[in-house]
Structure 1
Amino acid sequence: MSESRLERRFAALKAEGRGGLVTFTTAGDPDYDTACKILQRLPAAGADVIELGMPFSDPMADGPSIQAASLRALDAGMTLQKTLDMVRGFRAEDDVTPIVLMGYYNPIYSYGVDAFLKAALDAGVDGLIVVDLPPEEDDELCEPAVAAGLHFIRLATPTTDDARLPKVLTNTSGFIYYVSIMGITGTKAASGDAVRAAVTRLKGHTDLPVAVGFGIRTPDQAAEVAAVADAAVVGTALVEQVKAGLGPDGLAGEGLVDGVIDYVASLAQGVRAARQG
């Protein structure tokens, strides 16, 4: 199999001696056209890898901000098919930046697993993060996805001990996403020392890149994580930038896209200032 976009991107980051910036936005938030504009501009702003959330009506692992983003997108008519259309449109302009779809199994199951995997590959998706499918259910989606040529990225947490890690890492590829704190998204950040210790432990079990997320809000926090991990993931704070750009009517304000992109650029500047030790 030829080297994937994710593999090329993390190899390039390693060659540069820095961690990357992974950005999360919800597809279709606050509406399809605005979300497409944000997506198209993320790479130039400094996003190394893009996570695109698949809106779902019951995002149980997410905090209030991402839950609200999902509902905004669904209320604006977003569907899984439109999420794939967003990726296809992005690929017409950018065939380099990796895109990972993140979300829950229900919309994929409803779409049809085989049909979804084919459509995702055709659109230019590189990998999947499906938070409600544990390794014990790999035959549902993970194994078919890997067989089709998509990376299946798994989450590890502070409670994923050394006995559980090999199971979590089975069939995992692209990178491993370390959730640095327990609980829902959007809560406080872990300390730099805790992140360093966790990354070191994970590296003892896998050669995969380790991306660390949950609670990163500032360029300094992103830099602290990127100095010890292969990438820093920013999601909730980015989604909150979208919300901040809404007008009183709940629709996208004139400066929403620029505000989001400026924020991403500040995070990217922080990440690029951090050299890995």
Structure 2
Amino acid sequence: MARTWARWLSHALLTALALAWMSPLLWVILLSLTPNEALARGDLAPRMLTTAHYQTLLAVSQAPRWFLNSLLVAGTMTAATLVLSSLAGYALARIPFRGRNGVFLFIVAGLAVPEQAIFLPLHRMFAELELHNTYTALIAPRLAGPFGVFLMTQFFRAVPREMEEAAELDHAGRVRTFLFIMLPLARPALTTLGIFTFLYAWNDFLWPMVSATDPDMYTLTVGLSSLQGNFAQSESLGFVMASAVVASSPMILVYLLFQRYIVRGMALGGVR
């Protein structure tokens, strides 16, 4: 009986903490569905909810195009990062070559360089190549991320050598071993890296704001930011909250779908 009460008490406590953690999100959703008249009166418990703020967002902006731009940029960046990081991590962890440790240290040193420090030369380089206001400019600078290479290198180093030796006995080459043995084993790390990369790309604001000056090339974060300056005062708080819900919905969905992979990837990394 005591154990049952303890389990119920722990569940109740965890539920209360989850609701407390979710309360800001629920509050934002409520404000985004509250009519302007109720917000002006300070009535945060209106009898009728409305989707007028979302309709206004679609009517006065290019939000659907910005959403697709963000989806294309984040999806392409995630896929390319997974491919490049897994290849580089496997090479640094498993393939012996001269200067391997130096290359790895050079990549790790990149973690200490803030991205703002390279904005000026990066902007000048893409301006000289006339690549601003293109998807290439929005995607390419983020592919050289040292975190992904570091994560995959550490993961592949932790895989027992016996796995590759067994593949060699079956006459599997380096490419086949990587594709059919190492990559399936690295699924938790790849999933974690993919989620983090997607969330980072979706939330990225500074570089898209610098590189994309054409409204047709805005990502969702940049586009909604420009709308807040133009319409926030006239449309009140509900419009801003509707923009926040639209911008954050894909991130919440991705996390809810893949949260167990995040936990598993972190747990495996901690054990190793």
Task: Tell me which interval the TM-score lies in, with the shorter structure as reference length.
Answer: under 0.3
TM-score in terms of structure 2 length: 0.24
Q: Which has the higher helix share?
A: 2
By relative contact order (CA 8 Å, sep 6+), the higher-ranking structure is 2
Larger radius of gyration: 2
TM-score computed with the length of structure 1 as normaliser = 0.23
**Larger strand proportion of the pair:** 1
